[in-house]
Amino acid sequence: MAPETLNLVALALGAVGFGCFALPVLQRLSGRAEAEPLGSGRSLRSPLWWAGFVLTVAAIFLQRIAAQQMAGG
């Protein structure tokens, strides 16, 4: 796959991953969702949080591969 294509895929995955992180925050700020009690740790068990984490890690990994290919390594 061409480095330019990998860059675009990484950008898309990063944007979706960031959206997974930001959506619950925006919902709480707008009042559509209630915040969890302090110390409950439920936000770290959220499937949306894990989806955002995995997508962000995949985006970083693809970006590193694209950068190596562009450098000729």
Global pTM? 0.76
Higher pLDDT, 67 or 72: 67
Long-range contacts of 36-39, Cβ-Cβ distance < 8 Å, separation of 24 or more: none
pLDDT digits (tens, 9 = 90+) for 31-41: 887 877 777 76
Q: What are the structural domain ranges in the chain?
A: 3-30+45-71
Q: Residue 12, Cα to own-chain centre: how many angstroms?
A: 9
pLDDT digits (tens, 9 = 90+) for 28-71: 889 887 877 777 766 666 788 889 999 999 999 999 999 998 88
CA distance 55 to 12: 9
CA distance 24 to 62: 26
